Chain A
Amino acid sequence: MSDRPHPLLIVVAALVYLFLMLPLVIVVGAALSDTTYLTFPPQGLSLRWFENIFEISAFRRTIVTSLQIAFMGTLLALLIGIPAAYALNRFRVELPKWLGTLFVLPILVPEIVFGFALLKSFAVGTGVPIFGALLIGHTLLVLPYVVRVISASLASFDFSIEEAAISLGSAPVKTFFTIVLPNVRAGVIAAFILAFITSLNDVSVSLFLTGPGISTLPIQILAHVEQFFDPTVASVSVLLMFLTVAVMAVVERTLGLTFLAK
């Protein structure tokens, strides 16, 4: 087999990429349409469906909730995930192997089961406000990404640098913040972004953890699509895509995008 793929394979790959891109292009087109129904190619260009997003209070509210939950959940996951990832690498010999598996569990069990279990065994009966349950759900949902990405960064960190600092008299905690953390900065940024986007897009965990007045954007989009078939959802989708592009641009500038593919 020569190094160059068969032309037929190239054609297939091109079609797969067309299949991946075309629907997203169609969503953008539909969002720009001037009509009150979804159509493509857009008939008359208009940005009125973007204005409409902010006129519907449910969208305004859920956008804020989603951003809050994604931000706070990611921070909480970093807060408990960074020490865990550090411990897994630094005390590899002392800690049991299953501990690493434990932190991956939230992506191993079906998300929708996790959401349901949180509702049934935790939110119902303990009196924890639904926002709190939602936040806990999202923190755990993104924890595996945080632990994994930061572990991967720490795996290539030479701990003898840390030892050198400590044996020269630097306090362990100070050494962590001045020596270890700066060396895995790229991993922390990548973990933050990956976790934030995962939380922002989540449906299955949030599905059960919404209550009176509290819902997330993807759940609101689902509800809206089932009732109306206007381009508002297309415009929300485009907003989310813009956010994704912006995030990808940031990643590209700071780490190079192949980082995300790992």
Chain B
Amino acid sequence: MTSRRFWRHNGATGWALSAPATLAVIGFLLIPIGAVIAGTFMDPRGVFAPYISYFNSGFRTTVLFRTLQIAAITTIISLIFGFMTAYVVSRAPGKLKSLLIIAAVFPLLTGVVVRAFAWLIILGRNGILNQTLLSLGIVNEPLEMLYTQGAVIIGMVYLFVPLMVLSLVGVLENIPRDVLQASSSLGASPIATFWQVLLPLAVPGLIVGAVLVFTGSFTAYATPQLLGGERQTVLATLLHQRAMVSFDWVGASTIAAIMTVITITIVLAMSHIARRINPMAT
């Protein structure tokens, strides 16, 4: 009986069972990343030398701001279209709804490389879009659409809209329909109901979706690499280039540290905000 009591009530068993996973995360993730970040502060030129030289380089600061800009625009576009689509999906009748959810899951399960490649075929110089525009006589010579910021943003929106739709459908479904009906039966116009009832109730979900999309597009590699090339270098492609082409380990580590700090800060700040303003919790 004593051994069973031990099993039931001793937290040590819990620790023992979670130990392999805990040690794996600490040993193979926390320590390696910690070492990379710590290494940037041990530069012989001075504690912040790698960061000073990063922000003194016009090219590298441009890359940082370009990456932030692409992530921000991608997030806003995904929020707008994701929200509208998710609303329609959440109000669709049962069978159609499952079909629409499947149609959003499918692209998510298709790899990022495949999805970026699809846009390479569409936006290329001899791509489908150019062929169509030429044959319709809308343009006289092929447009240069690849390797522009627009191409990267389209590729990113394509990557992240399904994620936004899926994370919002659940939230919108959980908003009681009575609340919306109460609003309109009390005389609120559809627009007022949207701004004053639906949107505030959906804010926590919108924040979660926005964090997922922002951090995902802020750190994406394959899409900017294929659709943006060197002309649209972002932090992820710069990190790869510094490490694997220039063998500049300090420079690469500095970029890794900047990416990690920005990502973690955004995740923590936004989840804090989401918890504070959740109107359903009160």
Contact = CB atoms under 8 A, between A and B. Distances in A.
B239 to A, nearest CB: 6
Contacts of B122: 23, 26
Contacts of B87: 5, 9, 13
Given A13-B85, A247-B109, A110 B4 contact: no
A248 interface: yes
A27 B121 contact: yes
Given A94-B11, A105-B30, A257 B184 contact: no
Contact of B240 (A86, A112, A137, A200): A112
Given A116-B256, A139-B24, A166 B7 contact: yes
Interface residues of chain A: helix, strand, loop or mixed (majority): helix
B236 to A, nearest CB: 5
A108 B25 contact: no
B15 interface: yes
B180 interface: yes
B36 A121 contact: yes
Nearest to A221: B113
A20 B107 contact: yes
Given A87-B17, A257-B105, A240 B111 contact: yes
A57 interface: no
A169 to B, nearest CB: 9
B249 A91 contact: no
B88 A99 contact: no
Contacts of B13: 87, 91
Interface in A140-194: 140, 143, 147, 163, 166-167, 172
B136 to A, nearest CB: 15
Contacts of A39: 128, 131
Interface residues of B, number: 95
Interface residues of chain B: helix, strand, loop or mixed (majority): helix
A129 interface: no
Contact of A2 (B4, B103, B111, B184): B184
A122 B35 CA distance: 10
A203 B103 contact: no
Contacts of A13: 84-85, 87-89
Contacts of A166: 4, 7-8
Interface string A123-138: 0000000000000110
A248 B181 CA distance: 37
Contact of B101 (A38, A83, A257): A257
Interface in B224-282: 225-226, 236, 239-240, 243-244, 249, 252-253, 256, 259-260, 263-264, 267
A206 B267 CA distance: 24
Interface in B1-56: 4, 7-8, 10-11, 13-15, 17-18, 20-22, 24-26, 28-33, 35-36
B244 A208 contact: yes
A259 B193 CA distance: 31
A113 interface: yes
Given A5-B91, A117-B32, A117-B35, A234 B110 contact: no
A110 B36 CA distance: 13
Given A12-B84, A20-B107, A233-B117, 9 more contacts: A12-B88, A16-B84, A24-B110, A91-B13, A110-B215, A140-B28, A163-B8, A225-B117, A261-B104
Interface of B: 4, 7-8, 10-11, 13-15, 17-18, 20-22, 24-26, 28-33, 35-36, 81, 84-85, 87-89, 91, 98, 100-107, 109-115, 117-122, 124, 126, 128, 131, 158, 161-162, 165-166, 169-170, 177, 180-181, 183-184, 190, 193-194, 198, 215, 218-222, 225-226, 236, 239-240, 243-244, 249, 252-253, 256, 259-260, 263-264, 267
22 contacts: A5-B87, A5-B88, A12-B88, A26-B128, A90-B14, A99-B22, A109-B29, A112-B236, A113-B260, A114-B33, A116-B36, A117-B35, A120-B35, A120-B36, A166-B7, A204-B220, A204-B221, A218-B112, A234-B117, A244-B109, A248-B109, A261-B105
